[in-house]
């Protein structure tokens, strides 16, 4: 099967957004063993989009259109494809239900543009949108499979993984199945990880290995192709063993829908522990990450954002003289913050963050210098890090590092 991706959006042609969608989908196609010799980008213009579709159809048998399913007048992809293949748009009931619920919940009138988001070419297979309102679609015409995907990555990516990939597998002659195992790592860069595993990756065929970087984490997706789950798992096991033998120290969990924060919350639950935090440069981002996890209330009662020196002293009961003596960017302060938070919030584990987010230096220490403290009834410790990158990079890397240290601390108790 020969695939072609058409990314639709004037903002791509203007260079206002980078076409990451094409690379995400391309990677999935490669994993499926579907070749692709061309990609196109076209703007929000019906005529030119139609030309792009005709061209793709003339040389590919799987045409994947990404973007232009939104509620604005310049979102035309669905309408243009419908006209191109001569299949009128009809309402998808599941999608319109969802849209109506959304309208009610938000107490907002639905526009006609909204309604188009819930429509599909006649007889098309809907691809449910787990996150947003625009339903995707897959439909055949002129011996070509056409796929409609939404532009926002957080809607498009799960639709591809959960809805499109299984259907593409069915289209393939051998009807084999794909079984993936996703391994999540923190504390090692992608290039370092890939170097560690160079021979495994070079030799890859079945299972395949793909690495992804997101939010300072590296994810490896191992995908085996076989006639049965058992056969696929048998192919995956030895490769996973090799990988864990090399980089297991950085491994923290499995699965697409996992995160360091989620792993931390689950670990806390399993040990019946509770967590709190005292955050300076991260300013609440660590606790907000925990808050992303449903059910966190079982292990998290609250904590502190202590940005100013005076606030560190007041909220956490730290001796202001000693604080001034050691400075806020210090092992003393990191430990005192963690211990202070542990007591003030009466939790079993406390993480503290103090350092220099930047861009300016602080107390003569360069941006990126971050002390992270870990307090537990059994004692307190702190470690210093020098994170590269922007103010945001420094703060969010600190959060990830804090989550990783929390996880190891929980596992140690």
Instruction: State the Cα–Cα distance between residues 91 and 120, nearest whole angstrom.
Output: 6
Please choose, out of 83-91, 209-217, 227-235, 239-247, the segment that lies near a second copy by the rule CB under 8 A: 209-217
Q: At what angle do helices 46-59 and 77-85 cross, to 10 degrees?
A: 60
Token pair belonging to 127? 């691809």
Residue 150 interacts with a second copy (CB under 8 A): yes or no? no
The one-character DSSP state at 109 is P
Closest to a second copy by CB, 87 or 345: 345
Give the contact letters, 23-42, x = binds to a second copy (CB under 8 A), - = no. xxxxxxxx-----xxxxxxx
Neighbours of 124 (CB within 10 A): 26
Please state the length of the chain.
413
Q: Cβ 360 to a second copy, closest distance in Å? A: 8
* Residues linked to residue 121 through DSSP beta bridges, in sequence order: 89
- DSSP run (H or E) holding 262: helix 260-270
Positions in 266-295 near a second copy (CB under 8 A): 277, 279, 281-288, 290-292, 294
Question: Which of 121, 150, 253, 368 lies at the binding interface for a second copy (CB under 8 A)?
Answer: 368
Q: Report d(CA 395, CA 163) in Å as an integer.
A: 35
165 belongs to the binding site for a second copy (CB under 8 A): no
Nearer to a second copy, 139 or 149 (CB): 149
Q: How far is the CB of 260 from a second copy (least distance, A)?
A: 16
Q: Which stretch binds a second copy (CB under 8 A): 61-69, 168-176, 355-363, 402-410?
A: 355-363
Q: Which residues, other chains included, contact 44 with Cβ-Cβ below 8 Å and sequence gap of 6+?
A: 8, 9, 10, 68, 74, 75, 76
* Residue 315 or 404 having the CB closest to a second copy: 315
By CB under 8 A, tell whether 146 contacts a second copy.
no
The nearest distance, CB 86 to a second copy, in angstroms, is 24
Q: What is the DSSP string of 382-396?
A: EEEEE--S-HHHHHH
Nearer to a second copy, 17 or 234 (CB): 17
**Rounded distance between C-alpha atoms, residue 171 and residue 361, angstroms:** 57
Residues 384-413, interacting with a second copy (CB under 8 A): 386-388, 390-392, 395
Least Cβ distance, residue 327 to a second copy (angstroms)? 15
Show the site string, 227-266: x = touches a second copy by CB under 8 A, - = not.
----------------------------------------
Q: Does 303 bind a second copy (CB under 8 A)?
A: yes
Q: 327 CB contacts (<8 Å, ≥6 apart)?
A: 333, 363
- Least distance in angstroms from the C-beta of 313 to a second copy: 11
Residue 202 interacts with a second copy (CB under 8 A)?
A: yes
The rounded distance, in Å, linking the Cα atoms of 348 and 68 is 50
Q: What are phi and psi of 52, to 5 degrees?
A: -60, -40
Q: Can you tell me which of 15, 203, 364, 379 binds a second copy, judged by CB under 8 A? A: 15
Rule CB under 8 A: say whether 297 interacts with a second copy.
Answer: yes
d(CA 272, CA 217): 27
Stretch that binds a second copy, among 66-74, 135-143, 168-176, 371-379 (CB under 8 A): 66-74
Query: Is 300 in contact with 341 (CB distance < 8 Å)?
Result: no
Look-up of token digits 């809907």: 126
**Cβ proximity to a second copy, 87 vs 133, nearer residue:** 133
Structure token digits, residue 308: 């100013």
| CB of 264 vs a second copy, minimal distance in Å | 13
SS3 assignment, position 296: helix
Applying CB under 8 A, among 1, 2, 33, 45 the residue interacting with a second copy is 45
In the complex, least distance from residue 239 CB atom to a second copy, rounded to whole angstroms: 17
The answer to whether 379 touches 339, Cβ cutoff 8 Å, is no
Q: What is the DSSP letter of 160?
A: I
Q: Is 183 a binder of a second copy (CB under 8 A)?
A: no
Among the listed ranges 87-95, 134-142, 319-327, 358-366, the one in contact with a second copy (CB under 8 A) is 358-366
DSSP state, 377? T
């Amino acid at each position: 099967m020969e695939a072609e991706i058409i990314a639709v959006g004037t903002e791509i042609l203007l260079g206002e957004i980078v076409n990451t969608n094409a690379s995400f989908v391309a990677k999935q196609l490669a994993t499926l063993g579907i070749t692709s010799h061309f990609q196109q980008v076209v703007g929000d213009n019906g005529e030119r989009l139609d030309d792009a579709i005709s061209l793709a159809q003339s040389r590919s048998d799987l045409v994947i259109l990404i973007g232009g399913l939104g509620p604005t007048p310049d979102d035309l992809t669905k309408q243009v494809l419908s006209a191109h293949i001569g299949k009128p748009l009809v309402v998808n009931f599941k999608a319109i239900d969802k849209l109506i619920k959304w309208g009610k919940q938000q107490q907002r009138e639905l526009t006609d543009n909204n309604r188009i988001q819930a429509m599909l070419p006649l007889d098309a297979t809907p691809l449910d949108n787990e996150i947003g309102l625009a339903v995707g679609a897959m439909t055949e015409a002129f011996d070509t499979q056409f796929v409609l995907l939404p532009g926002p990555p957080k809607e498009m990516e799960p639709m591809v993984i959960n809805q499109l990939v299984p259907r593409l597998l069915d289209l393939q002659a051998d009807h084999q199945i794909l079984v993936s195992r996703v391994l999540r790592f923190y504390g090692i860069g992608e290039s370092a990880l890939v170097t560690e595993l160079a021979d495994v990756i070079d030799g890859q065929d079945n299972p395949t290995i793909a690495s992804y970087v997101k939010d300072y984490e590296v994810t490896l997706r191992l995908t085996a192709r076989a006639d049965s789950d058992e056969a696929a798992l048998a192919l995956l096991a030895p490769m996973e063993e090799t990988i864990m033998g090399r980089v297991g120290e950085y491994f923290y969990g499995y699965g697409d829908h996992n995160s360091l924060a989620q792993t931390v919350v689950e670990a806390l639950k399993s040990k019946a522990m509770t967590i709190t935090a005292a955050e300076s440069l991260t300013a609440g981002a660590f606790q907000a990450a925990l808050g992303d996890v449903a059910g966190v209330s079982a292990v998290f009662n609250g904590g502190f954002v202590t940005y100013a020196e005076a606030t560190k002293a007041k909220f956490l009961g730290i001796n202001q003289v000693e604080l001034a003596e050691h400075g806020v960017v210090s092992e003393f302060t990191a430990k005192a913050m963690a211990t202070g938070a542990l007591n003030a919030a009466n939790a079993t584990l406390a993480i503290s963050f103090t350092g220099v987010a930047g861009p300016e230096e602080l107390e003569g220490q360069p941006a990126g210098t971050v002390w992270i403290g870990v307090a537990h009834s059994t004692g307190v410790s702190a470690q210093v890090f020098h994170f590269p990158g922007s103010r945001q990079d420094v703060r969010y890397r600190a959060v990830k590092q804090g989550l990783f240290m929390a996880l190891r601390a929980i596992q140690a108790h």
